[in-house]
């Protein structure tokens, strides 16, 4: 499923499937592909903690590396 079709499903039905709370970065990328933008890095936390697809931002705990 790509992001645009999921976004239309969200607007029409309110369902967030196949997303769920606690997903990893890798799981999100498997569902939507690479994000349009990544951010939220610092000297301490090199792994991006924000993934942006269109107008939606997904936040991850910066201290959890990788997936």
Give domain limits for the chain.
3-59
pLDDT: which is higher, 55 or 66: 55
* Spatial separation of the C-alpha atoms in residues 16 and 38, rounded to whole Å: 21
Half-sphere exposure of 36 (CA within 13 A, CB side): 9
Confidence label for 67 from pLDDT (cuts 50, 70 and 90):
low
| The predicted structure's pLDDT at residue 13 | 92
* Spatial separation of the C-alpha atoms in residues 3 and 48, rounded to whole Å: 19
Q: Does position 66 have pLDDT exceeding 70, yes or no?
A: no
| The predicted structure's pLDDT at residue 1 | 82
Phi first, then psi: what are they for 59, rounded to 5°?
Answer: -110, 140
- Tokens standing for residue 45: 């936390």
* Spatial separation of the C-alpha atoms in residues 27 and 29, rounded to whole Å: 5
Give the model confidence (pLDDT) of 4-56 as tens digits: 999 899 899 988 899 988 899 999 999 999 999 999 999 999 999 999 999 99
What global pTM score does this model have? Answer: 0.79
């Amino acid at each position: 499923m790509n992001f645009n079709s999921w976004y239309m499903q969200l607007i029409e039905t309110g369902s967030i499937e196949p997303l769920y709370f606690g997903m990893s970065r890798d799981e999100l990328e498997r569902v939507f592909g690479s994000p349009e933008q990544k951010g939220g890095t610092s000297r301490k936390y090199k792994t991006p903690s924000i993934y942006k697809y269109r107008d939606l931002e997904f936040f991850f705990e910066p201290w959890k590396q990788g997936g």
